[in-house]
Amino acid sequence: MQNFDYQTPTRLIFGEGVISKLPEVMKQFGKKILLTYGGGSIKKLGLYDKVKELLDGFEIFELSGIQPNPKYDPSVLDGVKICKENNIDVILAVGGGSVLDCSKAIAAGALYDGDPWDLISYKAVGKASLPIVDILTLAATGSEYDPGAVISRTETNDKIGYMDNNNYPKVSILDPTYTFTVSKKQTAAGCADAMNHIMEQYFCQDSTLLNDGFCEAGLKSLMVNARKCLENPEDYTARAEMMFDCTLGCNGIYSLGNSYSGWPCHGMEHALSAYYDITHGEGLAIITPRWMKHILNDKTVDRFVKYGVNVFGINADQDHFDIANQAIDATYKFFESINIPMHLRDVGIDESRIGEMAHHVAENEGLENAWVPLTEKDIAEILTDSL
């Protein structure tokens, strides 16, 4: 078991109607709020009006239009400018992972004198960030309970996952009813994203029995509940369970004491969504079974056996490679069954830039240190298999 040093400073307020606590929550951080949101889903939900009504008496500035795969320019830069010019006290992020991530980069950039890209690209380390409160509307990334922010810079095809412990949200308000309106496409993609977060912690060299149990239960819960959410988008219990599965999925709690896996599927997917602006969870679902097939060998097979037997209930009394291959097929079929497009061509990606993307990943994502090390050639092969 590996050493660890763990603290999650985020207060989670979970359940239907918990938004009533918003004024009490915001009061502790100050009067001047930057309200951040995306392309308008929160207005359709009635959440925008609700927030404004509850925060009557606070001074509210706004940054809207934050896109999926949030962009450094203009969103992060605009947000930092508003914070600096108006001495903002606290950021209130209302939306999915993209809004939360963008808000984290803004929170750090607001208290940094130089170019905020220095922080995102690890050229500098932020000393502090503005406090962040969020109201989550999409279950997927776990950004509401982690210090990560994934920011894209279009002109350089960069999509960087940047970690800064100052960026843990102070408070996350999690009301599953706000996810009732999430489309089938985003619900399925959210499920695939959270499943992959768990897999990136499960498929590693050394793990504990406790963590294996957490991860296997998390994967099963996500599959069962995502199906229910797709069948009945207003199934409160399924939306609630899926939301909490996602919240815990990326926080690291499922892998305390495990050795680090290198998060290879995320490393590869970030290039796909940087170059082609695709939906993150769909990219992951496409890559994952191809990566599994690519790394299956004598050394890794038993991990796939455990996964197949405990997550998919595959009969353990068979040849280990047969079990592993059945587990990989079951993974593919699950994603396919929730209508995720399972080929890169289905999401508009052809072979023309695979070499370039593989090079970018090999240069920037450190996958030579992954559980099963991946070279540029391996990455190109996995992406080609995914076509």
- Site residues, ligand NZQ (CB under 6 A): 38-41, 45, 68-69, 95-99, 101, 137-138, 140-143, 146, 148-150, 178-179, 181-182, 186, 190, 193, 250, 266, 280
Contact predicate 63/132, CB 8 Å: no
Tell me which of ligand NZQ, Zn ion, none is bound by residue 370, counting a contact when its beta carbon lies within the kind-specific cut-off of 5 to 8 angstroms.
Answer: none
Q: Is the dihedral of CA 210, 197, 250, 142 positive or negative?
A: negative
Helix (H) or strand (E) holding 11: strand 11-14
Of 189, 160, 202, 194, residue with least CA distance to 361:
160
Least distance to ligand NZQ, CB of residue 362, Å: 19
Residue closer to Zn ion, measured from CB, 199 or 305? 199
Residues pairing with 149 in the sheet: 162
- By CB under 5 A, tell whether 365 contacts Zn ion: no
Which residues, numbered 186-225, are part of the site for Zn ion (CB under 5 A)?
193
By C-alpha distance, which of 141, 151, 223 is closest to 186?
141
Q: Which does 101 bind (CB under 5 to 8 A by kind): ligand NZQ, Zn ion, none?
A: ligand NZQ
Query: Which of the listed partners (ligand NZQ, Zn ion, none) does 178 bind, with a CB threshold of 5 to 8 Å by partner kind?
Result: ligand NZQ
Rounded to the nearest whole angstrom, what is the least distance from the CB of residue 382 to Zn ion in the complex? Answer: 17
Query: By CB under 5 A, is residue 164 in contact with Zn ion?
Result: no
Structure tokens at 368: 């030579």
Tell me how far, at minimum, the Cβ of 114 lies from ligand NZQ, in Å. 23
User: Residues 70, 152: contact at Cβ < 8 Å?
Assistant: yes
Which residues 6+ apart lie within 8 Å of 156 measured at CB? none
> Considering CB distances under 5 to 8 angstroms, the limit depending on partner class, which of Zn ion, ligand NZQ, none binds residue 116?
none
Binder of residue 218, out of Zn ion, ligand NZQ, none (CB less than 5 to 8 A by kind): none
Q: Minimum CB separation from Zn ion for residue 96, in Å?
A: 12
Q: Are 203 and 265 in contact (CB under 8 A)?
A: no
Written as one string, the DSSP assignment of 103-133 is HHHHHHHTT-SS-THHHHTTSS--S----EE
Residue 245, contacted partner among ligand NZQ, Zn ion, none, CB below 5-8 A by kind: none
Please tell me whether residue 282 binds Zn ion under the rule CB under 5 A.
no
Q: Which residues bind Zn ion (CB under 5 A)?
A: 193
